[in-house]
């Protein structure tokens, strides 16, 4: 059985980072990617400014948020992924939170992602999966679904994390563990370490980072064995209170507006900067240029106590008649209402030569090279005025934040 004890895990952070933020800052390293992206920019003011910062001393920035750590190359929600993010200067780190069968909080992007993020299908716990592995056959893809709510915390601890992927052509459980995008890697997966939510708090604190946990929507009907949605939301907060984490260092997140409103009412110190992850983009007819399609007005959210809103990148921008990236009406409405804006997720799309995919859909016509990562980030920071940016490779955002003094 693989054990997970934070004193041992902290050794993975290295002696400097484990001592706290001041000495940890000495270890911050951008690596080669920011310079690589800057080289791809067209000549102009942005390239000149960023190029002039290439010799700067890296520093941690709260503008730079590790999205599940640094999952461009590391298995998400692992100790190693978050240590990598901290070493790239991410001032805020994320644990997506779900629960096990015994109602313990753990870091997973979804309650039902164990078949894509761990080795569960090749272990004895495969029998616990809600949907057992079914091999690909003819025109039918392989399928499986495995939930944390089907196993105990002790069982969860026996699993080995891997890069998030599922090989839809698999005919065996072992083959299903493949399918990693060719612009990611498995080089940093060996020996990666899962975390509970409580362990993430201790780790992030040791790294000198702040906290942005996301309460994930359950895959099971709530209440779950008497464990209500309110119990779930409260337990998340209680794990910060239990170890004395200041509320101002925590940005609670949820796609469920009722969770955010619960925190505002029940835990006002934490609720003051709770983040509403707006998924209006999933509604038929949603148009970030047309406020009539927004299910909630920005002013209505503000009047109900919400102070932070977090849509995906593409919702905040559009292209003007000249083909330049500019703020969307959605962004302007949020600004006018006094809402703080956070956005997600940079460096999640792979190479941008062909439009950038889902995260770049509103500016696809201008997305033709990796340089657009910095072009978009510049508009988000300077024109939209976002407070922070989630990234799968935080060094990209940290470099920009340091260069522009964010």
For the chain, domain boundaries: 6-95+195-403, 114-176
How far is it, in rounded angstroms, from Cα 154 to Cα 122? 17
* DSSP string of 11-70, one letter each residue: GGG-HHHHT-HHHHGGG----SHHHHHHHHSPSSHHHHHHHHTTTSPP--EEEEEESSSS
The average pLDDT across 8-16 equals 52
How far is it, in rounded angstroms, from Cα 253 to Cα 199? 18
Residue 18 pLDDT grade (very low, low, confident, very high; cuts 50, 70, 90): very low
User: Does the structure show a pLDDT above 70 at 5?
Assistant: no
The H-assigned helical ranges of 219-310 are 229-241, 257-266, 268-271, 298-303
Side by side, the strands of the sheet bearing 96-99 are 105-107, 96-99, 214-215, 253-254, 275-276, 308-309, 340-346, 388-391, 61-66, 90-93, 210-211
Taking only the tens place, the pLDDT of each residue in 196-211 is 999 999 999 999 999 9
How far is it, in rounded angstroms, from Cα 257 to Cα 308? 12
Domain 6-95+195-403 class, CATH top level: alpha beta
Joined tokens for residue 114: 């164990």
Determine the 3-state secondary structure of 294 from DSSP. coil
More confident residue, 402 or 1: 402
Query: 63: closest CA among 85, 92, 84?
Result: 92
pTM over 0.75: yes
Continuous segment of H or E residues that includes residue 402: helix 395-403
What distance lies between CA 151 and its chain's CA centroid?
24
In the block, tokens 């792979």 appear at 350
Joined tokens for residue 137: 């056959």
| pLDDT (0 to 100) of residue 162 | 98
The average pLDDT across 20-41 equals 81
CA angle 285, 290, 291 (to 5 degrees): 105
What percent of the chain lies above the pLDDT cut of 70? Answer: 94
User: Does the structure show a pLDDT above 70 at 134?
Assistant: yes
How far is it, in rounded angstroms, from Cα 241 to Cα 211? 13
Sign of CA pseudo-dihedral 29, 34, 39, 45: negative
How far is it, in rounded angstroms, from Cα 86 to Cα 281? 31
Give the chain's end-to-end CA distance (angstroms, integer).
44
Residue 19 pLDDT grade (very low, low, confident, very high; cuts 50, 70, 90): very low
Residue 27 pLDDT grade (very low, low, confident, very high; cuts 50, 70, 90): confident
The average pLDDT across 59-69 equals 98
């Amino acid at each position: 059985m693989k054990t997970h004890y934070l004193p041992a895990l902290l050794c993975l952070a290295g002696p400097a980072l484990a001592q706290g933020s001041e000495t940890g800052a000495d270890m911050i390293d951008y690596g080669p990617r920011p310079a690589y992206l800057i080289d791809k920019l067209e000549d102009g003011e942005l390239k000149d400014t960023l190029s002039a910062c290439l010799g700067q001393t890296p520093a941690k920035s709260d503008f730079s948020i590790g999205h599940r750590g640094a999952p461009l190359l590391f298995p998400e929600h692992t100790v190693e992924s978050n240590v990598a993010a901290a070493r790239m200067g991410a001032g805020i780190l994320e644990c997506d939170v779900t629960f096990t069968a015994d109602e313990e909080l753990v870091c997973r992007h979804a309650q039902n992602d164990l078949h894509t993020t761990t080795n569960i299908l090749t272990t004895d716990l495969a029998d616990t999966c809600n949907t057992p592995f079914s091999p690909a056959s003819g025109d039918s893809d392989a399928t499986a679904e495995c939930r944390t709510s089907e196993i105990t915390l002790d069982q969860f601890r026996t699993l080995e994390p891997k890069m998030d992927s599922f090989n839809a052509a698999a005919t065996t459980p072992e083959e299903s563990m493949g399918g990693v995008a060719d612009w990611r890697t498995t080089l940093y997966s060996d020996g990666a370490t899962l975390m509970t939510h409580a362990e993430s708090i201790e780790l992030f604190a040791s790294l000198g980072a702040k906290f942005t946990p996301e309460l994930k929507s359950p895959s099971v009907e709530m209440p779950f064995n008497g464990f209500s949605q309110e119990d779930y939301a409260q337990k998340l907060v209680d794990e910060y209170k239990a170890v004395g984490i200041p509320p101002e260092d925590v940005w609670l997140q949820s796609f469920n507006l009722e969770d955010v409103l619960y925190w505002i009412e029940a835990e006002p110190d934490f609720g003051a900067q709770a983040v509403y992850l707006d998924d209006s983009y999933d509604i038929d007819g949603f148009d970030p240029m047309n406020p009539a399609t927004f299910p909630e007005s920005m002013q209505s959210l503000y009047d109900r106590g919400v102070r932070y809103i977090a849509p995906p990148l593409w919702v905040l921008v559009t292209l003007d008649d000249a083909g330049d990236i500019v703020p969307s009406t959605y962004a302007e409405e949020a600004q006018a209402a006094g809402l703080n804006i956070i956005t997600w997720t940079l460096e999640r799309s792979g190479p941008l030569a062909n439009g950038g995919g889902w995260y770049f859909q509103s500016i696809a016509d201008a997305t033709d090279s990796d340089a657009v990562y910095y072009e978009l980030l510049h508009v988000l920071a300077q024109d939209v005025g976002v407070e922070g940016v989630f990234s799968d490779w935080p060094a990209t955002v940290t470099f920009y934040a340091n260069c522009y003094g964010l």
